[in-house]
A and B are shown apart, each in its own frame.
Chain A
């Protein structure tokens, strides 16, 4: 069974750094892209970026480029999303999600999702 298990909720202050994680199991971790999606309170879904754990090839949304860093550690089947200096506007739920591959083809849509990590940034 494919599972993506994310790290727990975080409460941070503006200016703090943070790294949240997404641990994969049940499939070949290095063979599927993993994306990150933000959902601010009461709002819609926003794609942040995506990483291919096999070679750490990463693509970012221009809206998030330079604001976050996405990385992966193949040895423990885990991807990360990190901030060097949080803002109150980073308060949101963050999801990791695996790229869909079906019938020998892959699509840049997401079929398996982590449970989400709620990040609250408040002074």
Chain B
């Protein structure tokens, strides 16, 4: 199985900050990576697929980059509605696997 390791596990930030979350795969996955946002008590929401493609309707302050084993989700100018937990997911091979999550909290 491909292990997905996210860092940090949590980050405190202020509205307007730039936030970067990293996801590392235990083996190369090309660009087969997705990012999701989940707010407490809510359903996960797809933000980014294929490492850098923005899902329809997702604000452009979200962006993804990377390939191979190292990937990044960046939120430029954090908004109040962005405080949530973010998960990466490798889509390269079965079994699909998620990272452990990164909680973005209010500073």
Residue numbers of A with Cβ under 8 A of B are 35, 37, 44-47, 50, 59-63, 95, 97, 100, 102, 107-111, 113-116
A-B residue pair count with CB separations less than 8 angstroms: 67
Contact B91 A107 (CB under 8 A): yes
Candidates A100, A114, A116; contact of B46 at CB < 8 Å: A100
Provide the main secondary structure of the chain B interface. Answer: loop
* Given A44-B87, A44-B99, A113-B45, 16 more pairs with CB closer than 8 A: A35-B96, A44-B100, A45-B36, A46-B98, A50-B96, A60-B95, A61-B94, A61-B95, A61-B96, A62-B1, A100-B46, A102-B56, A107-B34, A111-B55, A115-B43, A116-B43
Provide the main secondary structure of the chain A interface. Answer: strand
**Count of B residues near A, CB < 8 Å?**
25
Residue numbers of B with Cβ under 8 A of A are 1, 32, 34, 36, 38, 43-46, 49-50, 53, 55-56, 87, 89, 91, 94-101
